[in-house]
Amino acid sequence: MNTAIVTDSTAYLPSNIVKELDINVIPLTVTIDGQAYEEEVDLKSAEFYDKVRGDGPLPKTSQPPVGKFAQLFTH
């Protein structure tokens, strides 16, 4: 039997800890102006704040798709 640590990107774990403990991180989806990004994959924190500054609409978030978790667990 295998054991794995799995979380989503809202845990905001330092990358060195993720690597050291071999933690699987499933990214949250963030939508800004109709464009979807995977948090910390397609969109780093600094880029996020750059995009949301100003008068535009606030970003929308969505939980990671359950399929991403299922895919991780079946491989």
> Residue 75's pLDDT is what?
76
pTM score: 0.76
Q: Which domains does the chain have, with CATH numbers?
A: 5-74 (3.40.50.10170)
Order of strands, edge to edge, in the sheet holding 60-62? 35-38, 29-32, 60-62
Can you tell me the distance from the alpha carbon of 27 to that of 29, in angstroms, rounded to the nearest whole number? 6
**Percent of the chain whose pLDDT exceeds 70:** 100
pLDDT (tens digit per residue) in 15-48: 999 999 999 999 999 998 889 999 888 888 888 8
H/E segment holding residue 22: none
